[in-house]
């Protein structure tokens, strides 16, 4: 990782792949990842970690399966939301979005329990900026 400032706008402009995050920096043992998203991701859960989302552009929906039943949270631009560990969830962005996530380094974006990973997802643990299809 570089110790230089990172422009999120430039970083997002450097790739087109959907649901395939780029690592912009690290904080302790966590990756700070950005991703372009569109359509539906897979239902999944992270057994040992929460998942933090910040919507940089567009609108993100996150469906959650909770003990009380299923619900969907709507995150407009500038909103944050944390999915608690162990919660089965599915992010989707009907009109596309750009997001920032905090996840422990090496954590797959498809979690520990998930549906089949779509063929268009080229990485689930994040690429360093400027690599593999940037």
Please report the DSSP string for 51-93 in residue order: EEEEEEEEEEEEEEEETTEEEEEEEETT-EEEEPTT-EEEEEE
Give the tens place of pLDDT for each residue, 33-52. Answer: 999 999 998 888 888 999 99
Whether CATH 2.60.120.10 fits 30-128: yes
Confidence band of 14 (pLDDT split at 50, 70, 90): very high
Domain segments of the chain as ranges: 30-128
Burial of 102 from C-beta contacts in 10 A (0-12 / 13-18 / 19+): middle
pLDDT at 134: 36
């Amino acid at each position: 990782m570089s110790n230089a400032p990172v422009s999120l706008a430039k970083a997002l402009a450097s790739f087109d792949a959907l649901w395939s995050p780029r690592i912009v920096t690290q904080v302790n043992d966590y990756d700070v990842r950005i991703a372009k998203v569109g359509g539906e991701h897979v239902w999944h859960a992270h057994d040992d970690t929460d998942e933090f989302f910040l919507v940089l552009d567009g609108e993100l929906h996150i469906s959650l399966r909770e003990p009380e039943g299923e619900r969907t949270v709507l995150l407009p631009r500038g909103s944050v939301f944390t999915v608690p560990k162990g919660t089965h969830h599915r992010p989707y962005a009907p009109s596309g979005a750009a997001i920032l996530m905090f996840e422990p380094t090496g954590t797959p974006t498809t979690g520990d329990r998930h549906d089949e990973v779509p063929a268009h997802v080229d990485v689930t643990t994040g690429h360093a900026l400027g690599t593999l299809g940037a």
